[in-house]
Amino acid sequence: DIQLTQSPSALSASIRDRVTITCRASQSISNYLHWFQQKPGKAPKLLIYAASTLQSDVPSRFSGSGSGTDFTLTISSLQPEDFATYYCQQTSSPPWTFGQGTKVEIK
Amino acid sequence: QLQLQESGPGLVQSSETLSLTCTVSGGSISTSSYYWTWIRQPPGKGLEWVGNIYYTGTTHYNPSLKSRVSIFKDTSKNQFSLKLNSVTSADTAVYFCARPRSEYYYSMDVWGQGTTVAISS
């Protein structure tokens, strides 16, 4: 199975901060890497697919980069509604796997 | 607009079979090249892919569950379903159905709201 390791597991940040979350795959997954945002009691919401393509209706402050084994999700200016848990997911080969999540909290 | 809705019992006895259904609206489950998937999330934990069914009926399962899981579809009802046998407390989770887009690297843009299943002993 392909393992995805996210870092950090949690972070505290202030409004308008720039936030970066990384996701490292245990083997190359090309750009079959997606990012989700999840709020308590809700289904995950797709933010970025294919490593760097912004899903429709997602604010442009979210961006993704990377290819192969190393990927990054960046929030350019953190907004109050962005406090949530973020997951990366690979769909390069089954079993599709998720990172363990990064919880973004208010400082 | 495509929408998914999970349904099923919220409580299942240990060693019994968990059965859930995802009803698809706003689109056909038989649409060419469409996949349909189940994902679960134990309380306070991360997400785990359970398995997929392709529009042709071909299935793929998580090897960690493979001997206990089956996914099938009912095109007449526009539904797909999950069965998980011999459940234990480790199967307590919120179960989501979702639609991976094969044309976009299998990214999942549409999800159901999730249904909570507790396993009781």
CB contacts of A87 in chain B (<8 Å) are 46-47
How far apart CA A84 and CA A35 sit, in angstroms, is 13
* pLDDT on residue B67: 87
Interface contact flag, B109 A55, Cβ < 8 Å? yes
Mutate to test the interface with A, among B39, B107, B115, B116 (most CBs of A within 10 A): B107
CB contacts of B108 in chain A (<8 Å) are 34, 44, 46, 89
Any idea what DSSP says for residue B105? T
Higher pLDDT among residues A107 and A67, named by residue:
A67
How far apart CA A56 and CA A69 sit, in angstroms, is 25
Residues on B contacting A at a C-beta cutoff of 8 Å: 46-49, 52, 60, 62-64, 96, 98, 100, 104-109, 111-114
* pLDDT on residue B66: 75
The residues, any chain, with a CB within 8 Å of residue B53's CB and separated by 6 or more, are B35, B36, B37, B59, B71, B72, B73, B80
The mean pLDDT of A34-62, rounded to a whole number, is 98
How far apart CA B28 and CA B20 sit, in angstroms, is 19
**pLDDT per residue as tens, chain B (121 positions):** 999 999 999 999 999 999 999 999 999 999 888 899 999 999 999 999 999 999 999 999 999 997 899 999 999 999 999 999 999 999 999 999 999 999 999 999 999 999 999 999 8
Interface contact flag, A43 B111, Cβ < 8 Å? yes
For residue A43, pLDDT over 90 is answered with yes
The mean pLDDT of A9-37, rounded to a whole number, is 98
Tokens encoding B52 = 């997929």
Shortest distance between the Cα of B76 and any Cα of chain A, in A, equals 27
The mean pLDDT of A67-85, rounded to a whole number, is 97
Interface contact flag, B47 A91, Cβ < 8 Å? no
The mean pLDDT of A95-105, rounded to a whole number, is 97
Q: What mean pLDDT, rounded, does chain A reach?
A: 97
CB contacts of B71 in chain A (<8 Å) are none
* pLDDT on residue B121: 87
* pLDDT on residue B32: 84
